[in-house]
Structure 1
Amino acid sequence: MEDRDWRILQVLYEQKNITKTAQALFISQPALTARLRYIEEYFGVKIVYRTSKGVHFTPQGEYVAKAASEMLLNLRNIREKVTDMNSTVAGTLRLGASSYFTMYMLPRLLTFFKKEYPHVEYKVTTTWSRDIFNLVHNQDIHVGFVSSDYGWQGAQHMLFEEPICIASTDAIDLDQLPRLPRINYQSDALIKALVDKWWRENFSEPPTISMEVDKLSTCKEMVVNGLGYGIMPSMIVKNNENIHKTILTDKEGRPLLRRTWMLYHEDMLEMNVVSAFVRFVREMDFPNVIFSRK
């Protein structure tokens, strides 16, 4: 059995479709079918059978397919350990980050790290913070960057905290806020809950949503162009002098804060590349370096 055979089983079990699996793995359907025949010959059992409704796994095939993820993880760990026996900081660093972090911080962070460790390569997964949490927990990635506190029990380091603000091109009278056009964007569930709680504590009527967009960056551009106000992390508009920023505060006058964390497993530090990266990030004056104009 080759690595690709375990990967075929993993993807086919997810897709339950020969065509979609072949497309996902960038191989032809005949080549995929041939590898399936080889796998069945290798184990001496029928793995799958095909019907008009797609691919179905036999009990033996389902057992083997479920073992595929564990086999691939073990193989990857073996390769990483072998590579790490060399004292050189090299290899592939598997990172996960939210869209916000990936767009505004990660490129510059990796540029700085690459200057120190030019032999490191990267595999980056961008998704919601809650999903990054799970990826770190399952060791699918080495290090994760999240913008909410999900109660991580492993090693972590807070990179920075930033107030949440109302951003607009004109100064805003908060009493008029429910009647002003607001631009909404898809955000992390915990941050959304924090903002919604603030709204309920301050207003008895709902906001006037004039526009729904997919990303924070899109919301920012709409705000910059005067199409409404947005409620967002203040750092994204920190250097924009044409944007008015009103910090949200709780009943005690304390600012509502969004905290960004680096998460990882302590035992991952046994790998040179992970240890070097974590140490590099921990020693960095993170927000000032990343958001500096230079």
Structure 2
Amino acid sequence: MDEKDWVAIKTLYEEKNISRAAERLYVSQPALTYRLKNLENEFGTSIFLKVKGGIEFTSEGIHLASYAEEMIKKLQLTKDYMLNMKNEVRGTLRLGASSNFAQYKLPKILKQYSNQFPLVQFNVNTGWSTEIMNLLNSSVVQLGILRGNYRWHGMKTLLHRERLCLISKREVNLNELTTIPFINYKTDSSLKNLITGWWNDRFSTPPRVTMETDRQETCKEMVKNDLGVSILPEICMQPSDNLYTYGLSYKNGEPVLRNTWLMYHQDSLKLAAVKQFIDFINKMKL
């Protein structure tokens, strides 16, 4: 087996479908099937079985997929440390970032870092903070930028604190929110719990939800068209939105804040590209 075999097995195990795995690998389905058949001949066993709608891995296939994932990680670590032995900052920075941070903050950060360290390449994963935490725990990424508070046993640095805001097309009285149409959006449990905690602190009845949207940007567009109000993190707001924003506070006057953390394993500090990025982002005003 070589690196291409490991990646093929890992991708197929994730997709449980040969055609989708081939698309992810940018190869034809016959080419992938041929490679998999050679692996089965090499090990003298079936790796998977065809079932309705896809495939199921055999016990031997599951073991092989686990081995492939482990070897991919070891190879990546070896590449990282080999590049790190040189006197210049270079290599691939594997970074995971929450979607909002990736959209509103990360491009500018990566551009400035790239200008200072042009030999560093980026491999970036974005998604909900819970997804980034999983990538960090499995060492798929070296650094994770997460929003909200999560249990983490490695190193972490507080990058930024921002306020949650009620947004509306027109002026509203916060004391009358229970009577105003409210627009929800899908988000991770950390933000949802923060919003729910504030609402329960201020009101004894639930919001009058009249619309559910798939993401925050869609929700904001609905608010722009005066279809209701919503609550968004401050990072999502732009001057061009032309919306009324109200910084939220609890009954005791304490502002409702959300933290953004940079998390990483201490061993990652041995890599110059990672250490330089941590120093770089900590010096920025976010």
Taking structure 1 as the reference length, what is the TM-score of the superposition?
0.89
Letter in 1 for 2:193: A
Describe the superposition over 1:123-153 as per-residue Cα deviations: whole angstroms up to 9, x where unpaired: 1111110111121122110111111111222
Query: Which stretches in structure 1 are left out of the alignment for 5+ residues?
Result: 287-294
Pair 1:268 & 2:259 matched: no
- 8 Å CA contact 1:87–1:272 kept in 2: the answer is no
1:145 aligns with: 145
Letter in 2 for 1:97: A
SS at match of 1:149: coil
- 8 Å CA contact 2:145–2:263 kept in 1: the answer is yes
1:82 aligns with: 82
- 8 Å CA contact 2:91–2:120 kept in 1: the answer is yes
Which deviates the most, 174-183 or 13-22?
13-22
1:100-249 alignment runs, 5 A limit:
100-237=100-237, 239=239, 242-249=242-249
Report the CA distance shift for 1:68/1:246 in structure 2 as closer, same or farther (over 3 A): same
- 8 Å CA contact 1:48–1:55 kept in 2: the answer is no
Which deviates the most, 175-184 or 66-75?
175-184
Report the CA distance shift for 1:51/1:232 in structure 2 as closer, same or farther (over 3 A): closer
Report the CA distance shift for 1:226/1:269 in structure 2 as closer, same or farther (over 3 A): same
Residues in 2 aligned to 1:244 and 1:20: alpha-carbon distance in whole angstroms: 45
Report the CA distance shift for 1:181/1:49 in structure 2 as closer, same or farther (over 3 A): closer
- 8 Å CA contact 1:46–1:58 kept in 2: the answer is no
Residues in 2 aligned to 1:96 and 1:87: alpha-carbon distance in whole angstroms: 26
1:48 aligns with: 47
Letter in 2 for 1:268: S
Describe the superposition over 1:128-182 as per-residue Cα deviations: whole angstroms up to 9, x where unpaired: 1011112112211011111111122211111111111211232211222111122
Cα drift, residue 56 of structure 1: 4.3
Residues in 2 aligned to 1:15 and 1:188: alpha-carbon distance in whole angstroms: 23
Letter in 1 for 2:227: L
SS at match of 1:21: helix
- 8 Å CA contact 1:167–1:230 kept in 2: the answer is yes
Letter in 2 for 1:255: P
- 8 Å CA contact 2:48–2:61 kept in 1: the answer is no
Q: Percent identity of the aligned residues?
A: 39
- 8 Å CA contact 1:162–1:259 kept in 2: the answer is yes
- 8 Å CA contact 1:95–1:122 kept in 2: the answer is yes
1:9 aligns with: 9
Cα drift, residue 61 of structure 1: 3.1
2:60 aligns with: 60
SS at match of 2:141: coil
- 8 Å CA contact 2:165–2:247 kept in 1: the answer is yes
Describe the superposition over 1:200-222 as per-residue Cα deviations: whole angstroms up to 9, x where unpaired: 23223221223222222222333
Letter in 1 for 2:174: L
Report the CA distance shift for 1:236/1:14 in structure 2 as closer, same or farther (over 3 A): closer
Residues in 2 aligned to 1:281 and 1:157: alpha-carbon distance in whole angstroms: 10
- 8 Å CA contact 2:183–2:228 kept in 1: the answer is yes
Residues in 2 aligned to 1:24 and 1:182: alpha-carbon distance in whole angstroms: 39
Residues in 1 aligned to 2:133 and 2:48: alpha-carbon distance in whole angstroms: 36
> Which segments of structure 1 move beyond 6 Å, counting only runs of 4 or more?
none
Query: Which stretches in structure 2 are left out of the alignment for 5+ residues?
Result: none
SS at match of 1:150: coil
Letter in 1 for 2:113: F
SS at match of 1:170: coil
CA RMSD of aligned residues (A): 2.0
